[in-house]
Structure 1
Amino acid sequence: MKIVVLEKQVPDSTEITVDKKTGALIRDGVPAITNPDDLAGLEAALELKDKNPDTEVVVMTMGLPKAAEMLKEGVAMGADKGVLLTDRVLGGSDTCATSIALAAALKKVGFDLVIAGRQAIDGDTAQVGPQTAERLDIPQVTYVDEILEVKEDSITVKRSLEDVEQIVTAKLPCVITTLSGMNKPRYMQCDNIVDLCKEDKIEVLTNAELGIDPETVGFKGSPTSVKTTFTKDVTDKTEVFTLSEQETADMIAKTLKEKQIITK
């Protein structure tokens, strides 16, 4: 089995700030990390490899050349190789355009199972995994909390939603998206780091190899754009109500309905 894990290098959200004038994220000087949901997906793939040594695990990302360092960390954890999609033509892609590039790369590399994190902490869209599955015209299962069984032609997983858990079986090949809490990613291994020094295990793909129409990726191919981002101002303004028990209950229920936390 060949498993491709999609990863994204993101700014550490614990240290990132927002430019109040432009609304843009200030990334300068902010350390880059591997998206947590993606790390869980890599660990899930490596656990399958532990059970079946014939399994090949490939980590793939689209980004700047420096993202190769993240892929090397994935190989040091146990993946067999990394694939980096990098090209000026791909710069500025939204989730829609990103899925076009990733689908093209996946077709070139080959796969039986694609694992992606549920969402990235810098965008929180949860769109790239599902959109990539649509581009490939294969099944998808999102919000995976546990891989229960993998057979030659199918995979069974536990899917965790806000108020229910589902056991889902999908035909292979397919895409699954994983939750960060499903496991604890392993550390990098010394032997794997030594192997990286001996052999370059990172393959670089440009648009020349992928053969994507430049009009469909990058800024040109992105139908969405961010108009502005902002942080909500926190104030100490407080409203005080003097109500009976029934009036208090009615107000709480009304507020929860307005915020769509409850429906009845």
Structure 2
Amino acid sequence: MVLLTFNIVEIEAECKNGVEISVEERMKTTIDNTKAILRILDIHDTKASFFVEISIVEKLQNLLKAISSQGHEIAFYNKNSSLQEIEDAKKFVQELLEKQIRGIRQKDFKLPQESLKLMEFNYVSNIDNANILFPFKRLKRDTQINEEDGLSIVPESISPYSQLPYNDFVFQMLPMDYYESMVFETLKKDEFVLIYLNSWQFTDFKKYRFDIPFYRRLNSGKKMEDKLDALLSWINEKEMATSRMKDYIF
């Protein structure tokens, strides 16, 4: 099973010297990038899970409705929100969409699992930082879903052969033929492959002059769209099953 997920987050990078990008423009970039993702998913009739950063959910009401109406899952991405902020956001989105929010994703700032369970989350998807040095720090680890404190804890997927994780950085940098081989070989050993990408990777950095490392500009924007399109074409060609996170776990 391929679990395709996207983190809907604002780009945090500063602007290059002499360039100004307003708060409204940053938000528009996030919305436009997400719409590009939705368009590609629709072409390939593929459903995914979207982890929306909690601090911006109220600014994305129309986008959240569009994601949900196309049959995708809405979940939360917690950057550094408090328990109260998460609870308020969960209530707001559930009333907006008339659907339950089942999942939450965490990276640097991790909250107690018992607190997340009390807020009626069903699963937690924890991810690591991805940068240019991570391949030298990666160790083999368990890739099975475990039950802890009444929650399903979903780990990052990792290739059993290359030992590379299926994170945003790896997808952006690897040639598609190699990446597809990783997926194929991993599914021979594991029951699922969890892939996650960030909405900001689809930004046209020639148009929006953010100051980001050169290796993060590679294969971004339209090239990122083309890579996602190629991956989904390959998945459909090989008749691989895909699923939203909440459907696979429950």
Q: Rg larger in 1 or in 2?
A: 1
Greater relative contact order, per chain length (Cα 8 Å cut-off, separation 6+): 2
- Give TM-score, length-normalised by structure 1: 0.29
Going by fraction, where is helix more abundant, 1 or 2? 2
Going by fraction, where is strand more abundant, 1 or 2? 1
- Give TM-score, length-normalised by structure 2: 0.30
